[in-house]
Amino acid sequence: MKDWRIIAIIPMLMIAFQGQAQFNIGLVSGYDLYQRYVNPDDGTGADRSSGNALISSAFGLKTWVGTQKVSLSLEAYANLGVFAFNVEEYYGLGALSIPMLAKINFNGATGLNELEKFGYYFGGGYQINRTEFYGINEKGRERGIERPYYPTYVAELGFAVGNKSKVVEVFVRYGLNPLNPSTALHFGVNTTYSLPYWKMPDFNAKPGEGGELDKIFKL
């Protein structure tokens, strides 16, 4: 874990010393369109999977450094799959994942462009997962099922549209732990809001003054 942080920080510092680099920090929020987990083998013979579609919520922090063409970022957030469950053998609801990622971003995905652009990125890192997050039901307890947190090493690929104030990403992330076979798969949408540049929507502006209502009704 410590080695991963060192490897991620070194290229960020190299870009920063080029002179044209910009630093930024922001908030990450989003949701998974689909997520699926396979727990490590617990010896009970029970089905180890859990899945969730649409109803999830993610929130966390992100920092990045680079130029309008390329940037490097570090982020960490928690994602709660509200109604994740095992379709074959129901033992409880909920799934929590906490990805910690280092990513290389290009063009519109850098979060540093003045104008909105299209871009892409790839990266990877470490993720902690837990299914049956709200607790295991009586049927599961009788079988001796436990659902502890388990780690996976993840890779992520995404496409984005954004500028220096906001970046919207569509991504797929896959995690694997070969030491005790277990996986995590995510397909979702995240939005990064730059704290120095992001402005709250102005709903108090009068019609014709360029507020949020003008954008909605195209006044």
- The pLDDT score that the predictor gives to residue 216 is 47
From the centroid of its chain, how far is CA 161? 16
Instruction: Report the pLDDT value the prediction gives residue 205, as an integer from 0 to 100.
Output: 56
CA 210/CA 219 separation, integer angstroms: 8
pLDDT tens for 28-55 read 999 999 999 999 988 887 888 998 888 8
pLDDT in tens, 112-139: 998 999 999 999 999 999 998 998 888 8
**Residue 36 in contact with residue 85, Cβ under 8 Å?**
no
Domain residue limits, the chain = 2-217
CATH class of 2-217: mainly beta
User: Does pTM top 0.85 for this prediction?
Assistant: no
Per-residue pLDDT at 17 = 45
Cα radius of gyration rounded to whole Å, the chain:
20
Residues in the chain: 219
Closest to 193 measured CA to CA, from 215, 156, 164, 158: 164
pLDDT of residue 219: 44
The low-confidence residues of the chain, meaning pLDDT below 50, are 17, 213, 216, 219
Q: What integer pLDDT is reported at residue 47 of this predicted model?
A: 83
pLDDT of residue 44: 83
How much is the pLDDT for 197?
77
Which of 161, 143, 173, 149 has the alpha carbon at shortest distance from 56?
Answer: 173
pLDDT number for residue 140: 84
